[in-house]
Amino acid sequence: MEAVIHLDTHVLIWLYIGEAKRLHPVEKILDSHQLVISPMVILELEFLKGIGKLQLSADKIIGDLVEQFGVVVSTTPFSRIIRNATQLNWTQDPFDRIIVANALAEDADLLTCDRNIRKHCHRAIWNKSQTCD
């Protein structure tokens, strides 16, 4: 069975736009794992489109990434995710809270460059020798 890794929204966007420099520190992880996203990532992509930070729809982005990289959308029951999310009181950001909770519900690591998530979530990973900028 292939190892699974959840992707935070910014990592998914970097993968989509081909930000090789930003993804270089985690290239081996991306190449050796089944890439999974929380459905909350889809909602966050649509939110970003709605406020003008993205031009494309979440459906277009996710569809292309499914085709190119085999990205899978998590099917973990929402009630299980929310049970985990209620314990994550270190953030009030609903996107971060549910994305992290989804990875934890699946006992999976979360690939994220977000310092706050990495500080508080033991399953959040990034190559520590590299910056995210």
Show the domains of the chain with their CATH numbers: 4-125 (3.40.50.1010)
- What tens digit of pLDDT does each residue of 17-31 get? 999 889 998 999 999
Identify the band that residue 39 occupies on the pLDDT scale cut at 50, 70 and 90: very high
- For the cut 80, the answer to whether the pLDDT of residue 68 exceeds it is yes
CA pair distance 75, 69, nearest whole angstrom: 18
Pull the structure tokens for residue 114.
Answer: 């977000």
Contact 96, 108 (CB under 8 A): no
- For the cut 80, the answer to whether the pLDDT of residue 70 exceeds it is yes
The arithmetic mean of pLDDT across residues 34-62, rounded, is 97
Q: Is 37 helix (H, G, I), strand (E, B) or coil?
A: strand
Contact 80, 68 (CB under 8 A): no
